[in-house]
Structure 1
Amino acid sequence: MILLVVIASVLVAGVTIYHSQEQNKDYHENRLERKEEQILQSISYALRETTYPVTTEYLELIFMDEIYKIADVQNVAFNIYDMEGQLIKSSRPAFEADSISNCLDAEVLNNLRITTNKRYVEKKTAAGDNYQASYTYINDLKFKPIGIVNLPYFEDNSFNNMELRELLLRLGGVYLLMLLSAVILAYFVSKYITRSLQAISDKIYQTDLTKRNEKIYIENPGQEIGKLVDSYNGMIDELEESAVKLARSEREQAWREMAKQVAHEIKNPLTPLRLTVQSFERKFDPEDPKAEAKVKEFSKTLIQQIDTMSNIASAFSNFADMPAQQNETLNVVKIVQLALEIFNEDYIHFISDEKEIIAKLDRTQLIRVVTNLVKNAIQAVPEVDSPRILVTVASEQEDVKISVADNGVGIADDFMDKIFEPKFTTKSSGMGLGLGMVKNIVENYKGTIDFTSQEGKGTVFTVKFPKE
């Protein structure tokens, strides 16, 4: 709409200017013809009334005074030439005689002779204005050419140009008003047309596969918009069905994996337990003097296997059902030091630039995070000549940061994406639940856990908890 208004205004302005120029051209041509006809009529009247012979030789005498009367009556200056183009008489004052051509150009004479109406108009530009000069034969009473009348005519377009400027200004005001109206109308029309599309765009932007999405309801939509809304609503229904199926499948798959893991971990101690019982039943001799010692050894073996299964059950229980958070205001530096006291390894070092960093956390869960990270570090350094584990606590603005660094074997690039998966482990023993449990605790506090590792050089785990 705006473009159409602009194009229309430019076209109308161009047509107006062109029309004005053509109108000026026709006006001056017609005015020159009228003046020329009036002068010829006056000359013809003078020739009829004169007592001199009507010939070329007497033209100067005939119009000696008459030329001034005609110029005064017609309010126009003109010149009279003989048939050879020599100036005979001019109506201009004597002091302007120098500016009058005393002899006509051969081109003017030739063009005048070859024209059918015996009239020639010469067009030139002088001092920035258009200039015309008409040349016409003066006929005697028998219509024989005896001279040439020259009528100079300067086009005065000042009035017409002023009128044109005023007209263009008025048109400009009208089209400026139309342009503003078009902008306003286009804005509201576009808002009305695109409101449905905007609603659809907002809904598509808000679509989230992890939550329930609302359908689009628009009153009286157009045919195309209605089809688009129906397609979107149909897609939402399909997404919900797919999400339900996917969630159910993931839950079933998770339970299957958990069941397989539990069965596998329980079978590990059951096999040696069964073999131990069978061997004891087959070899045990009550009369043997060492029978009591063998019974104690057998009981010790059974207790060890039972403790292993108990630890397995406890680990799965702790992972599946985390105890409720009992938040309290505590000194994180002191709690981390307390968690490290259960380890006897002399290569474990603790550093903190501050003696007290206060945060609201669950004491038990904080200890569990630290001990699990340190246990992983200990299991990573058994083959290192000079093992070293460094635990640091620091304050970072609104967070408290705990880092556990070791110079152990590191983590291979292939395993980095799986390190926090519940059932993943790179060790020959263990259930792979420690880091998964740590991640669970940290995320419950809206904290973060990440790590950097280089194979063969070591690993650094970093945990950040919000203080509040």
Structure 2
Amino acid sequence: MLTFNRTSLGTKIFTSMLTLVLIAFLMIAGVTYFQYKEQIRDYNEERLERKESSIRKTIDFVLDNTSYELKTEKIPYIFKEKIYEIASIQGENITMYDLEGEPLISSTDQLFDSPQQKKLCLETLQNLEESEEKRYVNQLDGEVSQQLSYSYINDPKYKPLAILEIEYEDSEAFINKELREILWRLVIVNILMVITAILLAYFLARYITITLKTVEDNIKATQLDKRNEKIDTTALPSELTTLVNAYNRMIDELEGSAVKLAQNEREAAWREMAKQVAHEIKNPLTPMRLTVQSFERRFDPEDPEVHDKIKEYSKTLIQQIDTMSSIASAFSNFADMPAQQSEILNVPNIVKLSVDIFNERYIYFSSEKEELYTNFDRTQLIRVVTNLVKNAVQATKTTAHPNIIVAVQELETEAEITVTDNGIGISAENEVKIFEPKFTTKSSGMGLGLAMVKNIMETYNGSITFTSQEGKGTVFKVVFPK
């Protein structure tokens, strides 16, 4: 057996779209973050190169116009004032070292205040010497991200005079601020996307599930004894069209099956009815046959009591004929559908007339109102009441103190008749069969009374129900529109 998650389709669509938006946001935020970091790094490198190029041009200009001899030891004199001017213009700290890594001059006094920073490390000198471009950049990560650019200062003949160090500070605060602003904009966009996704998911789920709800409602309302409406597939998407077409095919097949079932049920019912009629008619025919045979065998015209015997034989035959007539009338009454009548009846009056037919003194009638009108056929209403009271009388035959109450009550839009007895009650196994034709618990009768009452009540848009306790009694209740 296949098992399915019982979460609603609308919830799944909503959750899926919301998850998709959140995943998209995280992916975009991640890509944006790393892309922005990459761009900032490239930007800083390019900016450092521009700074370095500008500084080197200024240094070359100073070297070309100096009066000092171009030697390493003269560098501090050549750039004694110029190094501060260059650093101020470029906004970066500049330091010049000799070829051994000893500091010559710097735009910041901190260099000489920190002995551990006075000389370039051997690793820096080696990296600078081994680089093809004779340029080396060292990245320092700390509270303030820095890049230290090292390159040679050459004389006009490209002979190295000194080592130039440019201290470039990355603007991390600015970068982080820009990144936060970008991410905040993404959050706002994502919120708008989530709201859009919620609305879209709601209408999409409603669009999809409304058709499924229609199918569900139609399936719930499907009945074998009625014509079931099909669902129009004109404006549906292909996926739902397939489902609805399957439902419509099921309706066609169901109607065909219902027709065959109804036909089979009718045929079976008539076969059972024919068997029952034949059985009931055979019962009086047997004594009639025996009576005629006995009369033929014992008839003596000279017998002085011949007239009395003929009367006895005739009485026996007439009784059996009356029995057959009552059988025929019972089946005829059950088979005839009561015709709808527009006769306005006062229910309390008709019920009281029906109760007065019985001579038993333990039958009581009560009504909340003297007048309660309904559209009902007089004969059929009397038949309903008399059948129920007759059953109650038969159920109380073995009761020491029988008591039967027939009551009429007015409901909001309906009239209600109850017949209560303190008889033997109905067993649990018989409750499900109580309204079936030819079912009876009595030694006589054909079991058509309650089936006929149920048939009458359904014809007049009413209902019949009962409650019973075995050994304590039964309450039958019929309800029909006022």
Which TM bucket (shorter chain)? 0.7 to 0.9
Asked if structure 2 preserves the Cα contact closer than 8 Å seen for 1:196 and 1:218, the reply is no
Q: Match of 2:328, as an amino acid?
A: A
> Structure 2 vs 1, CA of residues 114 and 409 (structure 1 numbering), >3 Å: closer, same or farther?
farther
Give the deviation of 1:465 after TM superposition: 1.4
Q: Match of 1:324, as an amino acid?
A: A
> Structure 2 vs 1, CA of residues 391 and 213 (structure 1 numbering), >3 Å: closer, same or farther?
closer
* 1:378 aligned counterpart, secondary structure: helix
In 1, the alpha carbon distance for the partners of 2:180 and 2:368 equals 86
Q: What does residue 138 of structure 2 align with? A: 121
Asked if structure 2 preserves the Cα contact closer than 8 Å seen for 1:352 and 1:393, the reply is yes
In 2, the alpha carbon distance for the partners of 1:61 and 1:255 equals 132
2:345 maps to which of 330, 344, 350: 330
Give the deviation of 1:463 after TM superposition: 0.7
> Structure 2 vs 1, CA of residues 106 and 52 (structure 1 numbering), >3 Å: closer, same or farther?
closer
Give the deviation of 1:449 after TM superposition: 0.5
Q: What does residue 112 of structure 1 align with? A: 124
Q: What does residue 364 of structure 2 align with? A: 349
Q: What does residue 247 of structure 1 align with? A: 262
In 2, the alpha carbon distance for the partners of 1:70 and 1:345 equals 132
In 2, the alpha carbon distance for the partners of 1:466 and 1:132 equals 96
Task: Report whether the alignment pairs 1:321 with 2:336.
Answer: yes
In 2, the alpha carbon distance for the partners of 1:357 and 1:101 equals 117
In 1, the alpha carbon distance for the partners of 2:54 and 2:472 equals 116
In 1, the alpha carbon distance for the partners of 2:388 and 2:464 equals 11
In 1, the alpha carbon distance for the partners of 2:244 and 2:300 equals 85
Task: Report whether the alignment pairs 1:453 with 2:468.
Answer: yes
Q: What do the CA deviations read for 1:367-418 (whole angstroms, capped 9, x no partner)? A: 1111100111111122223322222221221111111122222222222222
Q: What does residue 419 of structure 2 align with? A: 404
Give the deviation of 1:54 after TM superposition: 3.2
Asked if structure 1 preserves the Cα contact closer than 8 Å seen for 2:438 and 2:448, the reply is yes
Q: Match of 2:316, as an amino acid?
A: T
Q: What does residue 51 of structure 1 align with? A: 68
After superposition, residues 361-372 of structure 1 pair within 5 angstroms as 361-372=376-387
Q: What does residue 339 of structure 1 align with? A: 354
> Structure 2 vs 1, CA of residues 396 and 241 (structure 1 numbering), >3 Å: closer, same or farther?
closer
In 2, the alpha carbon distance for the partners of 1:110 and 1:88 equals 17
In 2, the alpha carbon distance for the partners of 1:174 and 1:410 equals 72
Q: What do the CA deviations read for 1:41-91 (whole angstroms, capped 9, x no partner)? A: 5445545635368345x5544432121233345453323467887765443
Q: What does residue 394 of structure 2 align with? A: 379
Q: What does residue 63 of structure 1 align with? A: 79
In 2, the alpha carbon distance for the partners of 1:290 and 1:233 equals 80
Q: What does residue 102 of structure 1 align with? A: 114
* 1:422 aligned counterpart, secondary structure: coil
Asked if structure 2 preserves the Cα contact closer than 8 Å seen for 1:420 and 1:436, the reply is yes
Q: Match of 1:425, as an amino acid?
A: T
In 2, the alpha carbon distance for the partners of 1:326 and 1:227 equals 48
Asked if structure 1 preserves the Cα contact closer than 8 Å seen for 2:466 and 2:477, the reply is yes
Q: What does residue 36 of structure 1 align with? A: 52
Asked if structure 1 preserves the Cα contact closer than 8 Å seen for 2:92 and 2:166, the reply is no
> Structure 2 vs 1, CA of residues 50 and 120 (structure 1 numbering), >3 Å: closer, same or farther?
farther
Give the deviation of 1:185 after TM superposition: 13
Give the deviation of 1:111 after TM superposition: 3.4
Q: Which moved more, 1:280-289 or 1:401-410?
A: 280-289
In 2, the alpha carbon distance for the partners of 1:465 and 1:245 equals 32
Q: What do the CA deviations read for 1:411-434 (whole angstroms, capped 9, x no partner)? A: 222222221112211212101110
In 2, the alpha carbon distance for the partners of 1:336 and 1:186 equals 59
> Structure 2 vs 1, CA of residues 162 and 213 (structure 1 numbering), >3 Å: closer, same or farther?
same
Asked if structure 1 preserves the Cα contact closer than 8 Å seen for 2:94 and 2:165, the reply is yes
In 1, the alpha carbon distance for the partners of 2:166 and 2:116 equals 10
Asked if structure 2 preserves the Cα contact closer than 8 Å seen for 1:424 and 1:431, the reply is yes
Task: Report whether the alignment pairs 1:423 with 2:438.
Answer: yes
In 2, the alpha carbon distance for the partners of 1:147 and 1:410 equals 119
> Structure 2 vs 1, CA of residues 379 and 105 (structure 1 numbering), >3 Å: closer, same or farther?
farther
Q: Match of 1:394, as an amino acid?
A: Q
In 2, the alpha carbon distance for the partners of 1:260 and 1:349 equals 39
Q: What do the CA deviations read for 1:63-122 (whole angstroms, capped 9, x no partner)? A: 321212333454533234678877654435xxxx56986344499624313313363423
Q: Match of 1:428, as an amino acid?
A: S
Q: Match of 1:385, as an amino acid?
A: A
In 2, the alpha carbon distance for the partners of 1:457 and 1:429 equals 23
Q: With structure 2 as the length reference, what TM-score do the two structures score?
A: 0.75
> Structure 2 vs 1, CA of residues 173 and 292 (structure 1 numbering), >3 Å: closer, same or farther?
same
CA RMSD, 1 decimal: 4.7
Q: What does residue 414 of structure 1 align with? A: 429
In 2, the alpha carbon distance for the partners of 1:195 and 1:399 equals 36
Q: Which moved more, 1:412-421 or 1:113-122?
A: 113-122
Task: Report whether the alignment pairs 1:151 with 2:163.
Answer: no
In 2, the alpha carbon distance for the partners of 1:186 and 1:397 equals 42
* 2:93 aligned counterpart, secondary structure: coil
Asked if structure 2 preserves the Cα contact closer than 8 Å seen for 1:389 and 1:404, the reply is yes
In 2, the alpha carbon distance for the partners of 1:196 and 1:356 equals 50
Q: Which runs of 5+ in 2 are unaligned?
A: 1-15
In 2, the alpha carbon distance for the partners of 1:426 and 1:248 equals 29
Give the deviation of 1:466 after TM superposition: 1.1
Asked if structure 2 preserves the Cα contact closer than 8 Å seen for 1:87 and 1:102, the reply is no
